[in-house]
Structure 1
Amino acid sequence: MRVAVHFNPEKNNAPECAGKVCEILLGDGAEVSVSPVYKERFSKYSGIEFAELTDSVFDSDFVIAIGGDGTMLRCAKKLIGCNAKMIGVNTGRLGFMASLEADCLEKLLDLKSGNFEITERMMLHGIVYDEDKKYEFDALNDINISGMYSKICDFGVYSGSYQLGSYRADGIIFSTPTGSTAYALSAGGPVIEPDLECIEMNLVCPHSLFSRAMLFSPERTLTVACKSSSEESPLYMSFDGESPIKISSKNKIEISKSRYKIPFVDFYSKNAFHESLSKKLMQSIK
């Protein structure tokens, strides 16, 4: 069993937690790799290998990301096209994507026995057409289009040639079920079980009395037309919160289900997501 360990050194206790993870896995006979950036810190663990995650992910059975949701999100996208399975260990605040909390690391011993389940999580695929070029991206959480400085924008959303709606808002969010507990939740969207498949659309601060979230079939391809973009008030498109790209009314934008999925390890019951959701959301409002 080969395991790649990745952690966010800026998160509280993440380096210490990574050390404990390595101890547990090495003691169980696993082959463990960590980034060579941390060679000095982890050289005390006998048998550990040092390799960049972008390389080790291809021959690993599991990838363990230690930190918050952002760490897990960035790490999970490196699994695209690989056979490795994702395990998140939360040392951040909420950790909706986490398989384990930092005080439950002994559950990692279940990896060898196969005492766990796999949840396949869908991704979104976005294409930006710019004259004779196109830019393609995959997102595990969401695709967001918005202006700067809270400037209101006009959006048209189409399915084929049929216009589904015309909207005025600060922005528009397309999210996966995994992303339904992220930006989409703050925009008033519903919570969706992560193993369902659908495309969720939410408006950010809509200029309307009757705006609601919409759910689309995962087989539907949506096209977005940005009607109010200009050089004076440009729009920006972001995938999973990464650096945005500038778009204009000349760009055609398509959003659909990605052909890739990310397999997440689940150590607990079928109700683990709901238990985690209730516990963490209640904590966040205390």
Structure 2
Amino acid sequence: MKAALYPNFQKKNALSCARDTCDVLNASGIEVSVSGEFREDFKDKPFVIFEDIEVSAQTADIVIAIGGDGTILRCAKFLMGTDTKLLGINTGTLGFMAGLEADQLDKLVLLTNGEYEISKRMTIEVVIHDGDEERVYTALNEVSARSGSFRICDFDVFSDGYLVGRYRADGILFSTPSGSTAYALSAGGPIVEPDLECIEMTLICPHSLFSRATLFAPDRQLRITDRTKGDGSMVISVDGEVNKILGENESIEIRRGKNDLNFVNLIGNSFHESLCRKMCKPLK
């Protein structure tokens, strides 16, 4: 069995956690690889293999992201289209997507005997047209279209070619069930269990008394068209990374992603247990 580490050493205690993770995996008979850029941090561990994460994502049985939720999201991009499993170890503030905390590394031995659960997480794709070029980006959490100039935006939303509504708002989010507890939750959207399959639409600060989040079936073909007067009113972001600025009458399409991601749950925590433990009390 092979495990690859994807650490974020900007997070407090991530380096010590990554080094301890290497030791636990090695003691369990699991081959360990880390990106060559961290060679100095692991040079005293002769069992560590150094290879790029792009390679490890294709050849490893599991990739272990060490950091916060942002680290897990960045790591997930390397696993799109693979069967490689993903496990997050939290050394950040919230780490809602993580399967383990930094003080639970002894549980990694469960990887060797299959005593863990797999949670399949659906993704969504955004299709962006740039002249004759069509670019497709995949999100694990959400695609956002929001004001880039602090102006209110006007836009239309269509589902399978039919008009859903015309809106005025600071923007709009299209989220996966995993993303329902991220930006969409802060924008007033519902909490959706990650095992459900749907696309959530949540308006950001709508200029309306009656706007509500909407759940679409996962096979819907959604489209948003910017109707705001002037150029460059809406910024398109995929899991927090800016990918496109829309102009008046330009559109993007949203659809279910072609591939799910396999998240590892080692300690049997249910979604609701994690929700209550990490979100029902103030963050320190």
TM-score (norm 1): 0.96
Q: Which residue of 2 aligns with 1:134?
A: 134
Distance 1:56 1:161 in 2: 41
Determine if contact 1:147/1:153 at 8 Å carries over to the other structure: yes
Shift of 1:130: 3.2
Determine if contact 1:229/1:235 at 8 Å carries over to the other structure: no
Shift of 1:48: 0.8
3-state secondary structure, aligned to 2:279 = helix
Distance 1:284 1:60 in 2: 37
Distance 2:184 2:253 in 1: 19
Distance 1:14 1:186 in 2: 27
Distance 1:165 1:155 in 2: 9
Q: Which residue of 1 aligns with 2:20?
A: 20
Q: Which residue of 2 aligns with 1:69?
A: 69
Distance 1:212 1:206 in 2: 9
Shift of 1:285: 5.6
Distance 2:229 2:76 in 1: 33
Q: Which residue of 1 aligns with 2:246?
A: 247
Aligned match of 2:275 in 274, 277, 280?
277
Determine if contact 1:130/1:250 at 8 Å carries over to the other structure: no
Amino acid in the other structure paired with 1:16? S
Determine if contact 2:149/2:233 at 8 Å carries over to the other structure: no
Shift of 1:150: 2.2
Distance 1:29 1:53 in 2: 21
Distance 1:137 1:169 in 2: 24
3-state secondary structure, aligned to 1:87 = strand
Distance 2:199 2:10 in 1: 33
Q: Which residue of 1 aligns with 2:255?
A: 256
Distance 1:57 1:130 in 2: 30
Distance 1:42 1:268 in 2: 28
1:183 equivalenced with 2:212 (yes/no): no
Determine if contact 2:160/2:220 at 8 Å carries over to the other structure: no
Determine if contact 2:120/2:195 at 8 Å carries over to the other structure: yes
Shift of 1:159: 1.6
- Listed as ranges, the gaps of 5+ residues in structure 1 are none
Q: Which residue of 2 aligns with 1:224?
A: 224
Amino acid in the other structure paired with 2:254? I
3-state secondary structure, aligned to 2:137 = strand
Determine if contact 1:131/1:251 at 8 Å carries over to the other structure: no
Distance 2:248 2:149 in 1: 18
3-state secondary structure, aligned to 2:190 = coil
The number of residue pairs the alignment matches comes to 284
Amino acid in the other structure paired with 2:264? V
> Cα RMSD between the aligned structures?
1.3
1:150 equivalenced with 2:170 (yes/no): no
Determine if contact 1:146/1:236 at 8 Å carries over to the other structure: yes
Distance 2:29 2:154 in 1: 57
Determine if contact 2:117/2:265 at 8 Å carries over to the other structure: yes
Distance 2:229 2:198 in 1: 28
Query: How high is the sequence identity, in percent, across the aligned residues?
Result: 48
Shifted more, 194-203 versus 152-161: the winner is 152-161
Distance 1:193 1:106 in 2: 28
Amino acid in the other structure paired with 1:13? N
User: Map of 1:184-203 to 2, 5 A cutoff?
Assistant: 184-203=184-203
Task: Give deviations 1:115-144, integer Å, cap 9, x for gaps.
Answer: 001011000011012342211111000000
Q: Which residue of 1 aligns with 2:99?
A: 99
Q: 1:115 to 1:223 in 2, by over 3 A?
A: same
Determine if contact 1:3/1:61 at 8 Å carries over to the other structure: yes
Shift of 1:230: 2.0
- Listed as ranges, the gaps of 5+ residues in structure 2 are none
Distance 2:229 2:71 in 1: 32
3-state secondary structure, aligned to 2:241 = coil
Determine if contact 1:159/1:222 at 8 Å carries over to the other structure: yes
